[in-house]
Structure 1
Amino acid sequence: MKFKFFCPRWGNEHVSWDSFCQRVQDEGYDGVEYGIPNEVDVKELDEAWTNFDKFGLDAIPQHYGTYDSDFSKHYENYGGWLDMVKPYKALKIDSQTGKDYFSFEQNKKLVERAAEHTNATGVEVYHETHRNKFTFAAHITFDYLQRIPELRITLDASHWVNVAESFLEDQQAALELAIARTEHIHARVGYPEGPQVPDPAAPEWNEALQHHLGWWDKIVERKQSENAELVTITPEFGPYPYMVHLPYSQKPISDQWANNVYMMKLLKERYSKL
């Protein structure tokens, strides 16, 4: 079973694509997860994919920016984003989908729109567990997973830990079903009062890290039992405001890039014998 690790473009938007992809390659990542705004110059996309090809990197486009509260506009704009990325080669798509206040039927229509994209392109769309989206909490996502058997997710458990103010000890059924339906991992470590610990290497955050490692291990074990060929992981520690800044000086409390490289190397070593 092969593992591929993806570097988030998030937090590095100020760096040229050439310099960024060179650094991604040098660190040992296999690809880039690229959060693409709904309104973006096609020249930016062309430049990104030119550099992915140049440096031999796979791409995971990430949807995040459909915010319309009017469902008809939301549906149209979500579909527009999927159509925009259709010409660009992708290993899979990570989608922050819908809204927490849309009805089940409305969010289901968005899941069905994503399935249409998959049917047309062959590129799977996985719906990320994320605050503010339809997957914002473990118990809510549990209901969707039960009612939509074909639904597959990107698991970012850091959001659920934050929403539930716990390590989800009392929601084992929801976690088990989520683990069974996960096809991409966002390896960020959350804690009950926030979606991102300041530094995953710091000993004071080891309890939070161990909870997340346990969930990721179960996904990997499931994949291994299924004889899967590939597991994809994006270490996704983010910049401000996920990365808390020190008061007054506005200096970040730790290094975003270093946190993600640490997580990648930790997981590479952990799963190196599989």
Structure 2
Amino acid sequence: MDISFYAPQWGNTLPFDTFCKNVKSAGYDGVEMGLPFDETEKQEILAVLADHDLKLIGQYWQSFEKDLNEHLLNYEKYLRNLIAANPVFINCQTGKDYFSFDQSKTLFDLARRLSQESGIEIIHETHRGKSLYAANITENYLTRIPDLRITLDISHWCNVHESLLEDQQEAVDLAIAHTAHFHSRVGHSEGPQVNDPRAPEWSEVLETHLQWWDKIAEIHKQKNLLLTVTTEFGPATYMPVLPYTRLPVGDQWEINVHMMNLLKKRYQAF
């Protein structure tokens, strides 16, 4: 099957050119990231990506405003800035968890209009604190807005529902059916990120996530669609840290490359 892997820019502390060199050398196809509004800075970033033959997934995460009108203005501003860079698509952490259905739908409708105008697909991430923060809430959105396409980061739902979602199979299956892209972070019932997915104590949790992702891969294979994956294990303090020193208990880069290689090998057989 046709599959592309993206590295998160989130957590990078290296010069961007060095980071992109490492991303390419590791075997990634591109980077998922936001972009600055300063045109010179933005063009410099796009030039470095091009120099290393890396594609861009635009990322919007700056959904801070409580007032919907202000939120809409900034949402459109950020999306238009990303659209101008001609990314593969845009992944949005849309809305707030306390927005009503109608408030969130206003944002989804705006994203749809901008997508139709630009030809750039805009999809919406399942993320704590955002409109699609929980499995049952997302099920309602997907039922009432059947053309909504999502980035599935199911690690958040494990944390929100304090479970591996055993009792929400219908909601999970519906989300999988609407998934255009996924983040391969492994969550658990008490947090959105295990300390190291290679550790044996997380084997059952990892296997559960793999089975969810397998279903997404199978759907993309059947429909002959490109599958895209971002290996989005995060840095400290998203990554658990030791007390007092606040040193991360794992290596973000090493874990993300491991997840990419694990999934590349797994889906060779698809």
- Structure 1 counterpart of 2:108: 111
CA-CA distance at 1:40 after TM superposition = 4.2
Q: CA contact under 8 A between 1:10 and 1:35: conserved in structure 2?
A: no
- 1:172 aligned to 166, 169, 174, which one? 169
* Paired residue type of 2:259: M
Identity of aligned residues (%): 50
Match of 1:265 in 2: 261
Query: Could you tell me which residue of structure 2 aligns to residue 150 of structure 1?
Result: 147
**Matches of 1:35 and 1:81, distance apart in 2:** 9
How far, CA to CA, are the matches of 1:47 and 1:34 in structure 2? 14
Report runs of 4+ in structure 1 exceeding 4 Å deviation.
Answer: none
CA deviations on 1:47-92 (whole Å, 9 max, x unpaired) are: 1110111111110011001200011000110011011122202111
Mapping 1:118-267, distance limit 5 Å: 118-228=115-225, 230-267=226-263
CA distance in 1, matches of 2:224, 2:85: 28
Distance 2:136 2:185 in 1: 20
Question: Which runs of 5 or more residues in structure 2 are unaligned?
Answer: none
Q: Calculate the aligned-residue CA RMSD, in Å.
A: 1.0
Question: 2: CA distance between counterparts of 1:94 and 1:272?
Answer: 26
2:25 aligns with 26
Instruction: Name which of 62, 69, 80 aligns with 1:65.
Output: 62
User: Is the partner of 1:179 in helix, strand or coil?
Assistant: helix
Match of 2:6 in 1: 6
Q: Using the alignment, how far apart are the partners of 1:216 and 1:180 within structure 2? A: 11
Task: Give the distance between the partners of 1:199 and 1:42, measured in 2 at CA.
Answer: 38
Q: In the alignment, what sits opposite 2:76?
A: 79
Q: Distance in 2 between matches of 1:86 and 1:93?
A: 8
TM-score by length of 1: 0.96
Q: Give the 3-state SS of the residue equivalent to 1:29 in structure 2.
A: coil
Instruction: Provide the C-alpha distance between the structure 1 equivalents of 2:207 and 2:146, rounded to a whole number of angstroms.
Output: 29
Q: Which amino acid aligns with 1:150?
A: D
Q: Is the 8 A contact 1:17 1:47 kept in 2?
A: no
State whether residues 158 and 164 of structure 2, in contact with CA within 8 Å, keep that contact through their aligned partners in structure 1.
yes
Give the C-alpha shift of residue 117 in structure 1: 1.6
Counterpart of 1:115 in structure 2: which amino acid? R
Aligned residues of 2:236 and 2:247 also touching (Cα < 8 A): no
Contact 2:6–2:231 (CA under 8 A) maintained in structure 1: yes
- Deviation string, structure 1 residues 234-260 (Cα, Å, up to 9, x no partner): 010001221111111221101000010
The separation in 2 between residues aligned to 1:273 and 1:210, in whole angstroms, is: 17
- C-alpha distance in structure 2 between counterparts of 1:222 and 1:205, whole Å: 26
Provide the secondary structure at the position in 1 that maps to 2:5.
strand
Q: Which residue type is aligned with residue 18 of structure 1?
A: D
Q: Quickly say closer, same or farther: Cα 1:40–1:239, change in 2 above 3 A.
A: farther
